[in-house]
Amino acid sequence: MSVRTLLTRAWRFDSPRVLSAQMTLLDRNLPYAFVISAFVALLTAWIGSRTVHVAGTWTWAGATTAMTLLCLSVRHALPLPTDVARVAVYAHVVRLMAGMQGLCWGAMGVLWLDKANPMSIAIVLGITAGMNSGGLAVFAPSWPVAITYWVANIAPVMTVLLRSSDEFSFMMGLAVSLYLLAMTVFSYFAARGALRAIELGFENEGLVRRLRDQTQRALEARQVAEVALAEAEDANRAKTVFLASASHDLRQPLHAMGLFLNALARADLNERQQALLQQALASAQATGEMLNTLMDFSKVDAGVVKPQMQPFALQPMFRKLEREMAPLAEDKGLAFRMRDTSVILHADPALVEMILRNLVLNAIRYTERGALLLACRRRGARAWLEVWDTGVGIPADQHEAIFREFHQLGNPERDRRKGLGLGLAIVQGLARAMSVDITLRSEPGRGSVFRLALPVSKSPWQPSADVAATDEPDLSGLRVLLIDDDETVRSAMCDLLATWGCWCEAAASDEDALRILERFEPDVVLADYRLRSHRTGLQAVQAVRERMGRVVPSAIITGDTAPERLREAHASGLPLLHKPVPADSLQSVLFSLWREAAPPASAAFASTAG
């Protein structure tokens, strides 16, 4: 570094921002430095008066103290060092005050210095060194201020000593020159260290500011995400409410229609009427299956699916699916193949059957030619249930998307013959409920294979000893209390139950049902879930049981798909029938409930007959 550059740095201050930081550091110690300087001046005068006996010592101390007090007063009138716009004024005045303080102490050296008295020289140099060391601590943040103080302090003494003809004094003058040079170097590096610390502080401030900005942006982004999430949840709730309301409103007339059609099937009809009836039943069944798909999805979405894990043989389920699905595949010209298996699984058979049925139906819908395969491969303690097809295949980027609700490939026109787009969402939800994996391997144009991994049972499995009846249950003489606020449903249900030989009393509300109990003791209660005046079938059943003083076997019929209502209905423990209720399902549930009430019902019937 050149001498010119050093001289420039010794005179010029740094940029306003850096200078403000330097002066702020310097200003913290400046008042204490002035006070200590005045105190030391008085102490020095006292020592000098008792040692060197120089005239004017107390005059010098008074002048130095007055100068110090003046500097303190001027400092209070200066702009604040934190004022970047006016910090240069503060710096120049402080440098001037440092120079005046240095000259005061330099005058002390000239006043006291007695070249013929080595003791005098030692005292002057000791005091000068001490004051310069203190100046290093005070003025170190700003090199121009420090240089001004030291030059003003040392130069007078150094000049006097160097001009002396005495060899000892001259040598002392050289020593003072070297001391001044050393202090200059020390102060330079001290100032550079302070400057580096200030720059690091600026960098840290910048990092903190950027971190604060990033944090603020992150908070804003989080708020936006929370708003978007809330909107999505609102939309999802609105979708759920819409599905529940639409499903319920559609199920009511379809339920009544199914009941009327089943009652009509028992009437004497000619061949043409029978054909028309079968077509109407088929249409009602197709519509019911679509609504049942919505119901299955609502159950999964509501979290009311609770797996009943147990050992079961897979082969009977495969045979059942083959009987149901093979005709559907053949209608499309597809070959349905099934591999026999002896695997015994440990899972929920109802959920596994629902998963496989959805996968097979999905394969039939999206396969135009070729074949389907239902198979099972055992791999150690797990078995992989597989559904293969030779359909259109699924692109890799759609392998996850197809498991989302209402997502369909190749169906922009929303052809309802291809379903609602809920089958695979139901499959994934049911698999998740059993804590098992469902995987997909597929390529466009080369078909697909869905695999369900299930644990193999470690316990032996024995077929159920119960033998299913081949004839339809006999419900003759069954007393049924029906509670439903829909007049059409009540009429259709009573007509159907009458064809089965049941005695049915219908009520539109739980209040009507309690009045009916005054003349009628039911064996079974059938209650619609949603009744008038915000009442529910669960409340109606409870009211009937309290009036009769016993637990009357009961079932709930619902067209609701709202998750909270499904959870409440399932929590009751009562059998739950979903509209439209197939006639054979209703018949089977009524027969099961009647068997529960057989002893009291028989006795009541006997006493009535008597």
Element containing residue 337 per DSSP (H, E): strand 335-338
- Return the amino acid letter for 437: D
Helix (DSSP H) and strand (DSSP E) numbers for the chain: 17, 12
Between these two residues, 436 and 284, which has the higher pLDDT value?
436
Mean pLDDT, all residues of the chain: 77
Between these two residues, 600 and 69, which has the higher pLDDT value?
69
Asked if the model's pLDDT at residue 67 lies above 60, the reply is yes
Confidence class for position 61, pLDDT limits 50, 70, 90: confident
Task: Provide the greatest CA pair distance for the chain.
Answer: 154
Q: How many CB atoms are located within 10 Å of the residue 520 CB? A: 15
d(C-alpha 379, C-alpha 119), whole Å: 104
Domain extent listing, the chain: 3-212, 308-455, 479-609
Angle at 99 between CA 96 and CA 105, to 5 degrees: 145
What's the pLDDT score for residue 546?
92
Confidence class for position 236, pLDDT limits 50, 70, 90: low
d(C-alpha 309, C-alpha 347), whole Å: 4
Asked if the model's pLDDT at residue 254 lies above 60, the reply is yes
Q: How far is CA 69 from CA 31, 56, 66, 81, 111, in A?
A: 10, 20, 5, 20, 22
Q: Which has the minimum average pLDDT: 85-94, 110-119, 569-578, 597-606? A: 597-606
Q: What count of Cα atoms within 13 Å lies in the side-chain half-sphere of residue 117?
A: 11
Q: For residue 432, report the phi and psi dihedrals to the nearest 5 degrees.
A: -65, -35
Pairing of strands 554-558, 479-483: unpaired
Q: For residue 172, report the phi and psi dihedrals to the nearest 5 degrees.
A: -65, -35
What's the pLDDT score for residue 507?
92
Q: For residue 451, what are the β-bridge partners?
A: 386, 439
What's the pLDDT score for residue 327?
85
**Which SS3 state, helix, strand or coil, does residue 372 take?**
strand
Report the percent of the chain where pLDDT is more than 90. Answer: 6
**Which SS3 state, helix, strand or coil, does residue 489 take?**
helix
Asked if the model's pLDDT at residue 600 lies above 60, the reply is no
Burial class for 606, CB neighbours closer than 10 Å (0-12, 13-18, 19+): exposed
* Per-residue pLDDT tens over the stretch 384-432: 999 988 887 877 766 666 666 554 555 444 444 454 456 677 787 778 8
d(C-alpha 520, C-alpha 420), whole Å: 45
Q: Which residues of 261-277 are buried (b: 16+ CB within 10 A; e: fewer)?
A: bbbbbeeeeeeeeeeeb
d(C-alpha 220, C-alpha 236), whole Å: 24
d(C-alpha 229, C-alpha 12), whole Å: 59
CATH of 479-609, one of 3.40.50.2300, 3.60.15.10, 3.40.47.10, 3.20.20.70: 3.40.50.2300
Mean pLDDT of the region 469-490: 81
The answer to whether residues 594 and 475 touch, using CB atoms and an 8 Å cutoff, is: yes
Dig out the tokens for 436 from the structure: 């098992």
Asked if the model's pLDDT at residue 275 lies above 80, the reply is no
What's the pLDDT score for residue 203?
76
Asked if the model's pLDDT at residue 481 lies above 90, the reply is yes
Helix %, strand %, coil % of the chain (to 5):
65, 10, 25
Asked if the model's pLDDT at residue 52 lies above 70, the reply is no
CATH topology classification for 308-455 = Heat Shock Protein 90 (3.30.565)
Q: How far is CA 86 from CA 15, 23, 78, 89, in A?
A: 12, 11, 9, 6
